A and B are shown apart, each in its own frame.
Chain A
Amino acid sequence: MAELFTTDVGADLAAAADEETAAAPQRQALKLFLRNRSAVFGLILFLAILIMTFVLPFFYERDPGDLIARPHLAPGSEGAPLLGTDQLGRDLTAVVVYGGRTTLRVAAGAAVMIVGFGVMIGALAGFYGGKVDDVLMRFTEFFQVLPGLLFAIVLVALFNPSVWTVMIAIATVSWAQTARLTRAEFLRLKNLEFVKAARAIGASDFRIITRVILPNAMPTLIVSSTLVLGWAILFEAGLAFLGLADVNNVSWGLAIGRGRAAFTVNWWAVTFPGLAIFATVLGLSLIGDGLQDAYNPKLRGR
Protein backbone atom coordinates (compact mmCIF):
# COMPACT_ATOMS: atom_id res chain seq x y z
CA MET A 1 0.00 0.00 0.00
CA ALA A 2 2.56 2.49 1.14
CA GLU A 3 4.70 1.85 -1.89
CA LEU A 4 1.83 2.31 -4.27
CA PHE A 5 0.70 5.56 -2.96
CA THR A 6 4.09 7.12 -3.26
CA THR A 7 4.24 6.12 -6.92
CA ASP A 8 0.76 7.40 -7.71
CA VAL A 9 1.17 10.74 -6.08
CA GLY A 10 4.64 10.59 -7.53
CA ALA A 11 3.00 11.02 -10.91
CA ASP A 12 1.55 14.35 -9.86
CA LEU A 13 4.85 15.38 -8.37
CA ALA A 14 6.98 14.12 -11.22
CA ALA A 15 4.93 16.05 -13.70
CA ALA A 16 5.48 19.09 -11.56
CA ALA A 17 9.19 18.60 -11.17
CA ASP A 18 9.56 18.02 -14.89
CA GLU A 19 11.34 21.25 -15.50
CA GLU A 20 13.87 20.60 -12.77
CA THR A 21 16.55 23.17 -13.29
CA ALA A 22 19.17 20.66 -14.23
CA ALA A 23 22.01 21.25 -16.61
CA ALA A 24 24.15 18.47 -17.99
CA PRO A 25 23.78 15.26 -15.96
CA GLN A 26 27.51 15.28 -15.24
CA ARG A 27 27.43 18.80 -13.89
CA GLN A 28 24.44 17.89 -11.74
CA ALA A 29 26.34 14.92 -10.33
CA LEU A 30 29.40 17.06 -9.64
CA LYS A 31 27.26 19.51 -7.72
CA LEU A 32 25.80 16.74 -5.60
CA PHE A 33 29.25 15.27 -5.05
CA LEU A 34 30.69 18.56 -3.83
CA ARG A 35 27.78 18.94 -1.44
CA ASN A 36 28.61 15.61 0.18
CA ARG A 37 30.97 16.23 3.10
CA SER A 38 32.47 12.80 3.48
CA ALA A 39 33.05 12.57 -0.27
CA VAL A 40 34.87 15.88 -0.26
CA PHE A 41 36.92 14.70 2.71
CA GLY A 42 37.83 11.56 0.76
CA LEU A 43 38.78 13.65 -2.24
CA ILE A 44 41.00 15.92 -0.15
CA LEU A 45 42.62 12.92 1.51
CA PHE A 46 43.36 11.30 -1.84
CA LEU A 47 44.64 14.53 -3.36
CA ALA A 48 46.93 14.99 -0.37
CA ILE A 49 48.33 11.50 -0.91
CA LEU A 50 48.85 12.24 -4.60
CA ILE A 51 50.68 15.46 -3.79
CA MET A 52 52.79 13.69 -1.23
CA THR A 53 53.84 10.95 -3.61
CA PHE A 54 54.17 12.82 -6.89
CA VAL A 55 55.06 16.39 -5.93
CA LEU A 56 56.95 16.05 -2.69
CA PRO A 57 59.84 14.02 -4.23
CA PHE A 58 60.85 17.16 -6.16
CA PHE A 59 61.47 18.91 -2.86
CA TYR A 60 62.73 15.92 -0.96
CA GLU A 61 65.31 14.40 -3.24
CA ARG A 62 66.62 11.36 -1.49
CA ASP A 63 67.06 7.75 -2.42
CA PRO A 64 64.83 5.66 -0.18
CA GLY A 65 67.43 2.89 -0.40
CA ASP A 66 70.29 4.95 1.09
CA LEU A 67 71.34 4.26 4.63
CA ILE A 68 71.39 7.74 6.08
CA ALA A 69 71.57 7.28 9.84
CA ARG A 70 71.59 4.75 12.61
CA PRO A 71 68.88 2.11 12.46
CA HIS A 72 65.76 2.25 14.64
CA LEU A 73 65.81 6.01 15.14
CA ALA A 74 62.40 6.94 16.44
CA PRO A 75 60.69 9.94 14.87
CA GLY A 76 61.57 13.05 16.83
CA SER A 77 64.77 11.64 18.31
CA GLU A 78 68.04 13.42 17.75
CA GLY A 79 69.39 13.26 14.19
CA ALA A 80 66.37 11.34 12.96
CA PRO A 81 64.41 12.27 9.82
CA LEU A 82 60.77 13.27 10.22
CA LEU A 83 59.42 9.71 10.34
CA GLY A 84 62.52 8.07 11.80
CA THR A 85 64.65 5.31 10.28
CA ASP A 86 64.02 1.63 9.71
CA GLN A 87 65.93 -1.40 10.82
CA LEU A 88 68.79 -0.70 8.39
CA GLY A 89 68.88 3.07 8.90
CA ARG A 90 66.95 4.07 5.78
CA ASP A 91 64.99 7.31 5.85
CA LEU A 92 61.36 6.35 6.49
CA THR A 93 60.10 9.68 5.17
CA ALA A 94 61.69 8.84 1.84
CA VAL A 95 60.35 5.29 2.02
CA VAL A 96 56.78 6.50 2.55
CA VAL A 97 57.02 9.23 -0.10
CA TYR A 98 58.77 7.19 -2.79
CA GLY A 99 57.05 3.96 -1.83
CA GLY A 100 53.72 5.60 -2.52
CA ARG A 101 54.87 6.29 -6.05
CA THR A 102 55.50 2.61 -6.68
CA THR A 103 52.32 1.46 -4.98
CA LEU A 104 50.10 3.96 -6.80
CA ARG A 105 51.74 3.31 -10.16
CA VAL A 106 51.35 -0.43 -9.86
CA ALA A 107 47.80 -0.11 -8.58
CA ALA A 108 46.80 2.40 -11.24
CA GLY A 109 48.31 0.26 -13.97
CA ALA A 110 46.51 -2.78 -12.67
CA ALA A 111 43.25 -0.86 -12.37
CA VAL A 112 43.51 0.34 -15.97
CA MET A 113 44.05 -3.25 -17.11
CA ILE A 114 41.19 -4.53 -14.94
CA VAL A 115 38.73 -1.92 -16.13
CA GLY A 116 39.83 -2.06 -19.76
CA PHE A 117 39.71 -5.81 -20.10
CA GLY A 118 36.72 -6.26 -17.82
CA VAL A 119 34.63 -3.66 -19.63
CA MET A 120 35.53 -5.12 -23.02
CA ILE A 121 34.59 -8.68 -22.07
CA GLY A 122 31.51 -7.60 -20.12
CA ALA A 123 30.28 -5.30 -22.88
CA LEU A 124 30.57 -7.96 -25.57
CA ALA A 125 28.92 -10.61 -23.39
CA GLY A 126 26.08 -8.37 -22.29
CA PHE A 127 25.46 -6.83 -25.68
CA TYR A 128 25.49 -9.94 -27.83
CA GLY A 129 24.10 -12.41 -25.32
CA GLY A 130 23.47 -15.97 -26.45
CA LYS A 131 26.52 -18.04 -27.35
CA VAL A 132 28.95 -15.12 -27.15
CA ASP A 133 27.73 -14.50 -23.62
CA ASP A 134 27.97 -18.18 -22.70
CA VAL A 135 31.56 -18.51 -23.88
CA LEU A 136 32.75 -15.22 -22.38
CA MET A 137 31.04 -15.84 -19.08
CA ARG A 138 32.46 -19.35 -18.69
CA PHE A 139 35.86 -17.79 -19.37
CA THR A 140 35.14 -15.10 -16.77
CA GLU A 141 33.95 -17.61 -14.20
CA PHE A 142 37.16 -19.56 -14.62
CA PHE A 143 39.08 -16.52 -13.42
CA GLN A 144 36.54 -15.75 -10.76
CA VAL A 145 36.83 -19.12 -9.03
CA LEU A 146 40.63 -19.06 -8.98
CA PRO A 147 41.97 -18.47 -5.50
CA GLY A 148 43.12 -14.95 -6.33
CA LEU A 149 46.00 -14.33 -3.97
CA LEU A 150 47.46 -17.80 -4.47
CA PHE A 151 47.29 -17.55 -8.24
CA ALA A 152 48.85 -14.09 -8.17
CA ILE A 153 51.67 -15.38 -5.96
CA VAL A 154 52.35 -18.18 -8.43
CA LEU A 155 52.34 -15.76 -11.35
CA VAL A 156 54.72 -13.31 -9.73
CA ALA A 157 57.00 -16.05 -8.47
CA LEU A 158 57.18 -17.62 -11.93
CA PHE A 159 58.07 -14.46 -13.80
CA ASN A 160 60.37 -12.68 -11.34
CA PRO A 161 58.81 -9.85 -9.43
CA SER A 162 58.90 -6.61 -11.38
CA VAL A 163 56.51 -3.68 -11.56
CA TRP A 164 54.97 -5.19 -14.70
CA THR A 165 54.52 -8.74 -13.49
CA VAL A 166 52.88 -7.53 -10.29
CA MET A 167 50.51 -5.33 -12.28
CA ILE A 168 49.59 -8.17 -14.62
CA ALA A 169 49.14 -10.60 -11.76
CA ILE A 170 46.76 -8.27 -9.94
CA ALA A 171 44.78 -7.60 -13.13
CA THR A 172 44.57 -11.28 -14.05
CA VAL A 173 42.91 -12.29 -10.83
CA SER A 174 40.67 -9.19 -10.50
CA TRP A 175 39.10 -8.31 -13.85
CA ALA A 176 36.28 -10.84 -13.66
CA GLN A 177 34.26 -8.75 -11.20
CA THR A 178 34.34 -5.71 -13.49
CA ALA A 179 33.37 -7.88 -16.45
CA ARG A 180 30.31 -9.15 -14.61
CA LEU A 181 29.31 -5.67 -13.53
CA THR A 182 29.67 -4.31 -17.06
CA ARG A 183 27.70 -7.23 -18.44
CA ALA A 184 24.89 -6.53 -15.97
CA GLU A 185 24.83 -2.86 -16.99
CA PHE A 186 24.74 -3.76 -20.67
CA LEU A 187 21.97 -6.28 -20.11
CA ARG A 188 19.96 -3.60 -18.33
CA LEU A 189 20.61 -0.87 -20.88
CA LYS A 190 20.50 -2.73 -24.15
CA ASN A 191 16.74 -3.23 -24.06
CA LEU A 192 15.92 0.37 -23.29
CA GLU A 193 14.03 2.26 -25.93
CA PHE A 194 16.80 4.66 -26.84
CA VAL A 195 18.99 1.74 -27.84
CA LYS A 196 16.16 0.47 -30.01
CA ALA A 197 15.79 3.99 -31.34
CA ALA A 198 19.51 4.13 -32.16
CA ARG A 199 19.14 0.92 -34.13
CA ALA A 200 16.13 2.36 -35.86
CA ILE A 201 18.23 5.20 -37.22
CA GLY A 202 20.70 2.65 -38.56
CA ALA A 203 23.53 2.75 -36.02
CA SER A 204 26.04 -0.11 -36.11
CA ASP A 205 26.75 -2.45 -33.20
CA PHE A 206 30.12 -0.84 -32.52
CA ARG A 207 28.53 2.58 -32.42
CA ILE A 208 25.75 1.42 -30.14
CA ILE A 209 28.19 -0.23 -27.74
CA THR A 210 30.64 2.65 -27.55
CA ARG A 211 28.51 5.73 -28.11
CA VAL A 212 25.07 4.77 -26.85
CA ILE A 213 25.30 2.16 -24.10
CA LEU A 214 28.76 2.76 -22.64
CA PRO A 215 28.22 6.46 -21.80
CA ASN A 216 25.09 5.43 -19.91
CA ALA A 217 27.01 2.76 -18.02
CA MET A 218 29.74 5.25 -17.12
CA PRO A 219 28.42 6.28 -13.70
CA THR A 220 28.47 2.70 -12.48
CA LEU A 221 31.82 2.02 -14.07
CA ILE A 222 33.42 5.15 -12.64
CA VAL A 223 32.24 4.26 -9.15
CA SER A 224 33.51 0.75 -9.60
CA SER A 225 36.86 2.01 -10.91
CA THR A 226 37.59 3.97 -7.76
CA LEU A 227 36.88 0.87 -5.72
CA VAL A 228 38.99 -1.24 -8.07
CA LEU A 229 41.89 1.16 -7.55
CA GLY A 230 41.57 0.82 -3.78
CA TRP A 231 41.43 -2.95 -4.13
CA ALA A 232 44.54 -2.97 -6.32
CA ILE A 233 46.44 -0.93 -3.70
CA LEU A 234 45.57 -3.44 -1.01
CA PHE A 235 46.47 -6.32 -3.29
CA GLU A 236 49.82 -4.82 -4.20
CA ALA A 237 50.54 -4.26 -0.53
CA GLY A 238 49.61 -7.84 0.22
CA LEU A 239 51.94 -9.22 -2.44
CA ALA A 240 54.77 -6.89 -1.45
CA PHE A 241 54.34 -7.80 2.20
CA LEU A 242 54.97 -11.39 1.19
CA GLY A 243 58.09 -10.21 -0.59
CA LEU A 244 56.62 -10.53 -4.05
CA ALA A 245 57.61 -7.11 -5.28
CA ASP A 246 60.38 -5.44 -7.18
CA VAL A 247 63.00 -4.98 -4.45
CA ASN A 248 64.60 -2.13 -6.38
CA ASN A 249 61.43 -0.09 -6.13
CA VAL A 250 60.32 0.22 -2.55
CA SER A 251 56.55 0.28 -2.03
CA TRP A 252 54.37 0.69 1.05
CA GLY A 253 53.66 -2.99 1.23
CA LEU A 254 57.31 -3.88 0.84
CA ALA A 255 58.25 -1.46 3.63
CA ILE A 256 55.72 -3.09 5.97
CA GLY A 257 57.02 -6.52 5.03
CA ARG A 258 60.60 -5.52 5.73
CA GLY A 259 59.76 -3.90 9.02
CA ARG A 260 57.46 -6.57 10.44
CA ALA A 261 60.25 -8.65 12.13
CA ALA A 262 61.40 -5.66 14.17
CA PHE A 263 57.92 -4.41 15.05
CA THR A 264 58.47 -4.68 18.84
CA VAL A 265 61.49 -2.35 18.79
CA ASN A 266 60.51 -0.25 15.76
CA TRP A 267 56.75 0.27 15.51
CA TRP A 268 57.08 3.30 13.22
CA ALA A 269 58.65 1.45 10.28
CA VAL A 270 55.44 -0.54 9.94
CA THR A 271 52.93 2.02 11.11
CA PHE A 272 53.67 4.93 8.76
CA PRO A 273 53.48 3.00 5.48
CA GLY A 274 50.43 1.25 6.94
CA LEU A 275 48.76 4.59 7.67
CA ALA A 276 49.55 5.73 4.14
CA ILE A 277 47.76 2.69 2.70
CA PHE A 278 44.87 3.16 5.07
CA ALA A 279 44.45 6.84 4.17
CA THR A 280 44.60 6.17 0.44
CA VAL A 281 42.08 3.35 0.45
CA LEU A 282 39.77 5.24 2.79
CA GLY A 283 39.93 8.29 0.55
CA LEU A 284 39.13 6.23 -2.53
CA SER A 285 36.27 4.43 -0.90
CA LEU A 286 34.73 7.69 0.34
CA ILE A 287 35.07 9.09 -3.17
CA GLY A 288 33.42 5.96 -4.54
CA ASP A 289 30.49 6.25 -2.14
CA GLY A 290 30.15 9.93 -2.91
CA LEU A 291 30.08 9.29 -6.65
CA GLN A 292 27.52 6.56 -6.15
CA ASP A 293 25.24 8.96 -4.30
CA ALA A 294 25.86 11.75 -6.76
CA TYR A 295 24.94 9.65 -9.77
CA ASN A 296 21.96 7.97 -8.14
CA PRO A 297 20.54 10.48 -5.69
CA LYS A 298 17.40 8.37 -5.32
CA LEU A 299 19.31 5.40 -3.93
CA ARG A 300 20.76 7.37 -1.07
CA GLY A 301 20.12 5.89 2.33
CA ARG A 302 19.57 2.39 1.04
Chain B
Amino acid sequence: MAAAYNPLKPQGDELPILSVRDLTVAFDQFTAVDEVSFDLHNGQTLAVVGESGSGKSVTALSIMRLVELGSRAKIEGGEVLFRGGHEFSDDGAPIDLVTQDEATMRRIRGNHISMIFQEPLTSLNPVYTVGNQVAEAVMLHQGLNKKAATARALEMLDLVRIPEAKRRLSQYPHEMSGGMRQRVMIAMALSCDPTVLIADEPTTALDVTIQAQILGLMRELQKETGAAVIIITHDMGVVAEVADDVVVMNRSKIVEQGSVYDIFESPQDPYTQALLASVPRLGSMNGTSEPARFDLVEQEI
Protein backbone atom coordinates (compact mmCIF):
# COMPACT_ATOMS: atom_id res chain seq x y z
CA MET B 1 0.00 0.00 0.00
CA ALA B 2 3.06 2.16 0.12
CA ALA B 3 2.95 3.16 -3.53
CA ALA B 4 1.34 6.52 -4.08
CA TYR B 5 -1.90 6.47 -5.97
CA ASN B 6 -1.56 7.63 -9.52
CA PRO B 7 -4.75 8.97 -10.99
CA LEU B 8 -3.56 8.40 -14.53
CA LYS B 9 -3.14 4.72 -13.82
CA PRO B 10 -6.43 2.81 -13.98
CA GLN B 11 -7.58 1.55 -10.61
CA GLY B 12 -8.29 -1.93 -11.86
CA ASP B 13 -10.60 -3.95 -9.73
CA GLU B 14 -9.67 -2.43 -6.44
CA LEU B 15 -12.80 -1.34 -4.62
CA PRO B 16 -12.94 2.15 -3.15
CA ILE B 17 -12.35 2.33 0.58
CA LEU B 18 -15.10 4.92 0.85
CA SER B 19 -18.02 5.50 -1.48
CA VAL B 20 -20.32 8.43 -0.96
CA ARG B 21 -23.58 7.89 -2.81
CA ASP B 22 -26.25 10.58 -3.31
CA LEU B 23 -25.54 12.09 0.09
CA THR B 24 -28.09 14.76 0.95
CA VAL B 25 -27.92 16.88 4.09
CA ALA B 26 -30.37 19.62 5.03
CA PHE B 27 -30.58 22.33 7.68
CA ASP B 28 -34.30 22.87 8.16
CA GLN B 29 -35.38 24.00 4.69
CA PHE B 30 -31.92 24.58 3.27
CA THR B 31 -30.22 21.74 1.45
CA ALA B 32 -26.54 22.08 2.33
CA VAL B 33 -25.38 18.96 0.50
CA ASP B 34 -27.38 17.84 -2.50
CA GLU B 35 -26.96 14.30 -3.87
CA VAL B 36 -23.21 14.25 -3.61
CA SER B 37 -21.41 11.12 -4.83
CA PHE B 38 -17.72 10.29 -5.03
CA ASP B 39 -15.26 7.44 -4.42
CA LEU B 40 -12.06 7.36 -2.45
CA HIS B 41 -9.36 4.72 -2.91
CA ASN B 42 -6.54 3.60 -0.68
CA GLY B 43 -3.52 5.86 -0.88
CA GLN B 44 -5.42 8.44 -2.86
CA THR B 45 -5.79 12.14 -2.09
CA LEU B 46 -9.15 13.57 -3.04
CA ALA B 47 -9.65 17.32 -2.83
CA VAL B 48 -13.13 18.68 -2.28
CA VAL B 49 -12.91 22.29 -3.37
CA GLY B 50 -15.40 25.10 -3.26
CA GLU B 51 -16.03 28.59 -1.95
CA SER B 52 -17.71 29.44 1.33
CA GLY B 53 -21.19 27.99 1.59
CA SER B 54 -20.58 25.39 -1.11
CA GLY B 55 -21.27 22.51 1.29
CA LYS B 56 -17.76 21.07 1.30
CA SER B 57 -17.28 21.13 5.07
CA VAL B 58 -20.77 19.77 5.74
CA THR B 59 -19.93 16.88 3.41
CA ALA B 60 -16.84 16.09 5.47
CA LEU B 61 -18.69 16.27 8.78
CA SER B 62 -21.47 14.08 7.38
CA ILE B 63 -19.06 11.30 6.50
CA MET B 64 -17.97 11.28 10.14
CA ARG B 65 -21.62 11.62 11.16
CA LEU B 66 -20.65 14.66 13.19
CA VAL B 67 -22.93 17.05 11.37
CA GLU B 68 -26.15 16.25 13.20
CA LEU B 69 -24.72 16.79 16.66
CA GLY B 70 -25.57 20.13 18.15
CA SER B 71 -27.09 21.54 14.98
CA ARG B 72 -30.33 21.30 13.10
CA ALA B 73 -28.71 19.45 10.24
CA LYS B 74 -30.10 16.12 9.15
CA ILE B 75 -28.76 13.55 6.74
CA GLU B 76 -31.80 13.11 4.56
CA GLY B 77 -30.62 10.53 2.12
CA GLY B 78 -27.81 8.64 0.48
CA GLU B 79 -25.17 6.32 1.83
CA VAL B 80 -21.55 6.45 2.89
CA LEU B 81 -20.15 2.99 2.22
CA PHE B 82 -16.98 2.22 4.16
CA ARG B 83 -14.85 -0.86 3.46
CA GLY B 84 -12.18 -0.28 6.06
CA GLY B 85 -13.77 -1.56 9.25
CA HIS B 86 -13.62 -5.32 8.94
CA GLU B 87 -14.70 -6.01 12.47
CA PHE B 88 -18.05 -4.42 11.73
CA SER B 89 -19.16 -6.75 8.96
CA ASP B 90 -19.01 -10.54 8.74
CA ASP B 91 -18.53 -10.97 5.01
CA GLY B 92 -16.24 -8.06 4.21
CA ALA B 93 -19.19 -6.18 2.77
CA PRO B 94 -19.04 -2.41 3.19
CA ILE B 95 -20.95 -0.84 6.04
CA ASP B 96 -23.13 2.21 5.51
CA LEU B 97 -21.97 4.86 7.97
CA VAL B 98 -25.25 6.74 7.61
CA THR B 99 -27.17 3.92 9.29
CA GLN B 100 -24.71 2.99 12.02
CA ASP B 101 -25.59 3.69 15.62
CA GLU B 102 -23.66 6.22 17.68
CA ALA B 103 -21.71 3.54 19.58
CA THR B 104 -20.37 2.03 16.35
CA MET B 105 -19.54 5.48 14.99
CA ARG B 106 -17.53 6.21 18.12
CA ARG B 107 -15.44 3.11 17.45
CA ILE B 108 -14.88 4.25 13.87
CA ARG B 109 -14.04 7.88 14.60
CA GLY B 110 -10.43 8.47 15.40
CA ASN B 111 -9.70 4.80 14.84
CA HIS B 112 -10.63 4.05 11.21
CA ILE B 113 -11.51 7.54 10.02
CA SER B 114 -9.77 10.57 11.52
CA MET B 115 -10.22 14.24 11.02
CA ILE B 116 -8.14 17.37 11.37
CA PHE B 117 -9.57 20.84 11.48
CA GLN B 118 -8.75 24.31 10.27
CA GLU B 119 -7.87 26.06 13.49
CA PRO B 120 -4.96 24.32 15.14
CA LEU B 121 -5.28 26.58 18.18
CA THR B 122 -8.90 25.93 18.95
CA SER B 123 -8.79 22.26 17.95
CA LEU B 124 -6.65 21.43 20.95
CA ASN B 125 -8.05 21.49 24.44
CA PRO B 126 -6.34 24.35 26.29
CA VAL B 127 -6.40 22.67 29.70
CA TYR B 128 -4.49 19.49 28.85
CA THR B 129 -0.91 18.97 27.80
CA VAL B 130 -0.18 17.99 24.24
CA GLY B 131 1.08 14.56 25.28
CA ASN B 132 -2.09 13.95 27.22
CA GLN B 133 -4.23 14.74 24.21
CA VAL B 134 -2.32 12.64 21.72
CA ALA B 135 -2.35 9.71 24.15
CA GLU B 136 -6.09 10.09 24.62
CA ALA B 137 -7.08 8.63 21.23
CA VAL B 138 -4.82 5.62 21.68
CA MET B 139 -6.14 4.91 25.16
CA LEU B 140 -9.68 5.24 23.89
CA HIS B 141 -9.39 2.84 20.97
CA GLN B 142 -6.52 0.52 21.64
CA GLY B 143 -6.96 0.03 25.34
CA LEU B 144 -3.36 0.94 26.06
CA ASN B 145 -2.47 2.01 29.57
CA LYS B 146 -1.25 5.50 30.30
CA LYS B 147 2.41 4.62 30.02
CA ALA B 148 2.14 2.79 26.72
CA ALA B 149 -0.11 5.50 25.34
CA THR B 150 2.39 8.18 26.27
CA ALA B 151 5.12 6.20 24.56
CA ARG B 152 2.93 6.00 21.47
CA ALA B 153 2.28 9.76 21.70
CA LEU B 154 6.02 10.38 21.73
CA GLU B 155 6.42 8.15 18.71
CA MET B 156 3.70 10.09 16.90
CA LEU B 157 5.24 13.49 17.68
CA ASP B 158 8.48 12.14 16.26
CA LEU B 159 6.62 10.92 13.20
CA VAL B 160 5.27 14.39 12.47
CA ARG B 161 8.82 15.73 12.91
CA ILE B 162 8.25 17.83 15.99
CA PRO B 163 11.68 18.73 17.30
CA GLU B 164 12.41 17.87 20.93
CA ALA B 165 9.28 15.74 21.01
CA LYS B 166 9.91 14.55 24.53
CA ARG B 167 9.92 18.06 25.95
CA ARG B 168 6.87 18.99 23.87
CA LEU B 169 4.78 16.22 25.43
CA SER B 170 4.38 18.21 28.61
CA GLN B 171 3.64 21.52 26.92
CA TYR B 172 0.24 23.13 26.67
CA PRO B 173 -1.20 24.08 23.26
CA HIS B 174 -0.78 27.82 23.84
CA GLU B 175 2.94 27.35 24.29
CA MET B 176 3.27 26.15 20.70
CA SER B 177 3.16 27.95 17.36
CA GLY B 178 0.33 27.38 14.88
CA GLY B 179 2.42 25.08 12.73
CA MET B 180 3.46 22.94 15.70
CA ARG B 181 -0.13 22.70 16.86
CA GLN B 182 -1.24 21.50 13.46
CA ARG B 183 1.50 18.87 13.59
CA VAL B 184 0.09 17.77 16.94
CA MET B 185 -3.37 17.53 15.40
CA ILE B 186 -1.99 15.36 12.64
CA ALA B 187 -0.17 13.20 15.17
CA MET B 188 -3.41 12.77 17.05
CA ALA B 189 -5.35 11.93 13.90
CA LEU B 190 -2.82 9.33 12.76
CA SER B 191 -2.17 7.74 16.15
CA CYS B 192 -4.54 4.82 15.55
CA ASP B 193 -3.45 4.19 11.95
CA PRO B 194 -6.69 5.24 10.30
CA THR B 195 -7.48 4.14 6.76
CA VAL B 196 -9.10 7.47 5.92
CA LEU B 197 -7.98 10.94 7.00
CA ILE B 198 -10.27 13.91 6.45
CA ALA B 199 -8.50 17.26 6.56
CA ASP B 200 -10.81 20.28 6.69
CA GLU B 201 -8.84 23.33 5.50
CA PRO B 202 -5.75 22.08 7.36
CA THR B 203 -3.44 24.90 6.25
CA THR B 204 -5.81 27.84 5.83
CA ALA B 205 -4.93 29.41 9.16
CA LEU B 206 -1.19 28.99 8.66
CA ASP B 207 1.49 31.22 7.18
CA VAL B 208 2.65 30.28 3.72
CA THR B 209 6.05 28.89 4.73
CA ILE B 210 4.41 26.86 7.50
CA GLN B 211 1.71 25.73 5.08
CA ALA B 212 4.44 24.43 2.79
CA GLN B 213 5.91 22.43 5.66
CA ILE B 214 2.55 20.93 6.62
CA LEU B 215 1.65 20.03 3.02
CA GLY B 216 5.03 18.38 2.61
CA LEU B 217 4.55 16.50 5.85
CA MET B 218 1.08 15.29 4.90
CA ARG B 219 2.34 14.07 1.55
CA GLU B 220 5.21 12.22 3.17
CA LEU B 221 3.04 10.65 5.86
CA GLN B 222 0.57 9.49 3.27
CA LYS B 223 3.36 7.72 1.44
CA GLU B 224 4.45 6.10 4.69
CA THR B 225 1.02 5.05 5.94
CA GLY B 226 -0.91 4.52 2.71
CA ALA B 227 -3.94 6.26 4.17
CA ALA B 228 -6.55 7.72 1.88
CA VAL B 229 -6.97 11.46 2.35
CA ILE B 230 -9.90 13.77 1.72
CA ILE B 231 -8.75 17.37 1.82
CA ILE B 232 -11.39 20.07 2.05
CA THR B 233 -10.10 23.41 0.79
CA HIS B 234 -10.96 26.64 -0.97
CA ASP B 235 -7.38 27.11 -2.19
CA MET B 236 -6.77 25.97 -5.76
CA GLY B 237 -3.03 26.22 -5.15
CA VAL B 238 -3.27 23.62 -2.40
CA VAL B 239 -5.45 21.45 -4.63
CA ALA B 240 -2.95 21.57 -7.46
CA GLU B 241 -0.20 20.71 -5.04
CA VAL B 242 -1.63 17.69 -3.25
CA ALA B 243 -4.67 16.22 -4.99
CA ASP B 244 -4.90 13.18 -7.23
CA ASP B 245 -8.58 13.69 -7.91
CA VAL B 246 -10.75 16.74 -7.46
CA VAL B 247 -14.41 17.26 -6.64
CA VAL B 248 -15.63 20.81 -7.30
CA MET B 249 -18.64 21.89 -5.29
CA ASN B 250 -20.84 24.91 -5.77
CA ARG B 251 -24.12 25.67 -4.00
CA SER B 252 -24.40 22.27 -2.32
CA LYS B 253 -23.86 20.29 -5.50
CA ILE B 254 -20.91 18.68 -7.23
CA VAL B 255 -20.48 20.55 -10.47
CA GLU B 256 -17.50 18.63 -11.76
CA GLN B 257 -15.13 15.86 -10.75
CA GLY B 258 -12.09 14.33 -12.32
CA SER B 259 -8.36 13.94 -12.08
CA VAL B 260 -6.44 17.01 -10.99
CA TYR B 261 -5.04 17.39 -14.53
CA ASP B 262 -8.47 17.25 -16.16
CA ILE B 263 -9.86 19.83 -13.78
CA PHE B 264 -7.02 22.29 -14.17
CA GLU B 265 -6.32 21.79 -17.85
CA SER B 266 -9.72 21.27 -19.37
CA PRO B 267 -12.43 22.28 -16.94
CA GLN B 268 -15.83 21.55 -18.45
CA ASP B 269 -18.25 23.20 -16.08
CA PRO B 270 -18.70 26.98 -16.38
CA TYR B 271 -18.34 27.38 -12.63
CA THR B 272 -15.02 25.55 -12.57
CA GLN B 273 -13.85 27.66 -15.48
CA ALA B 274 -14.85 30.87 -13.71
CA LEU B 275 -13.21 29.73 -10.49
CA LEU B 276 -9.93 28.92 -12.19
CA ALA B 277 -9.96 32.20 -14.08
CA SER B 278 -10.03 34.12 -10.82
CA VAL B 279 -7.16 32.21 -9.20
CA PRO B 280 -3.87 34.12 -9.25
CA ARG B 281 -1.13 31.79 -10.43
CA LEU B 282 2.36 32.57 -9.19
CA GLY B 283 4.68 33.07 -12.13
CA SER B 284 1.91 33.93 -14.58
CA MET B 285 3.20 37.49 -14.73
CA ASN B 286 6.76 36.65 -15.69
CA GLY B 287 8.09 38.95 -18.38
CA THR B 288 5.66 41.78 -17.67
CA SER B 289 6.19 44.78 -15.47
CA GLU B 290 2.72 46.34 -15.09
CA PRO B 291 -0.10 44.95 -12.92
CA ALA B 292 -2.75 43.02 -14.79
CA ARG B 293 -6.47 42.54 -14.25
CA PHE B 294 -7.98 39.12 -13.89
CA ASP B 295 -9.54 37.94 -17.10
CA LEU B 296 -12.80 37.04 -15.45
CA VAL B 297 -15.33 34.84 -17.09
CA GLU B 298 -18.51 36.91 -17.13
CA GLN B 299 -20.68 34.96 -14.78
CA GLU B 300 -22.43 35.69 -11.55
CA ILE B 301 -20.84 33.32 -9.10
Contact = CB atoms under 8 A, between A and B. Distances in A.
Question: Is there any pair of Cβ atoms, one from A and one from B, under 8 angstroms apart in the complex?
Answer: yes
Interface of A: 18-20, 22-25, 129, 190-194, 196-204, 212, 215-216, 218
Interface of B: 64, 66, 69-70, 105-111, 114-115, 117-119, 122-128, 136-137, 140-141, 172, 174-175, 177, 185, 188-189
B117 A199 contact: no
Given A190-B70, A193-B117, A198 B172 contact: no
A203 B177 CA distance: 26
B125 A202 contact: no
Nearest to A194: B125
Nearest 3 pairs of A and B residues by beta carbon: A201-B110, A202-B109, A202-B110
12 contacts: A22-B172, A25-B127, A193-B117, A193-B118, A193-B122, A197-B117, A197-B123, A198-B125, A200-B110, A202-B105, A202-B109, A215-B128
A242 B230 CA distance: 69
Given A25-B126, A25-B172, A216-B127, A203 B70 contact: no
Contacts of B141: 201-202
Nearest to B119: A193
A194 B122 contact: yes
A31 to B, nearest CB: 15
Nearest to B64: A200
Contacts of B126: 25, 194, 216
A192 B64 CA distance: 17
A19 B122 CA distance: 16
Nearest to B171: A23
B60 to A, nearest CB: 10
A70 to B, nearest CB: 60
Given A22-B175, A24-B172, A201 B188 contact: yes
B174 A201 contact: no
B110 A194 contact: no
Nearest to A26: B127
Contacts of A204: 106
A192 to B, nearest CB: 6
Contacts of B124: 194, 197
Contact of A200 (B70, B114, B119, B177): B114
Contacts of A193: 117-119, 122-123
A219 to B, nearest CB: 9
A199 B137 contact: no
A201 B137 contact: yes
Contact of A201 (B119, B127, B140, B172): B140
A134 B115 CA distance: 32
A23 B44 CA distance: 41
A192 B126 CA distance: 11
Nearest to B105: A202
Contacts of B105: 202
A102 B54 CA distance: 63
A272 to B, nearest CB: 43
A192 B114 CA distance: 18
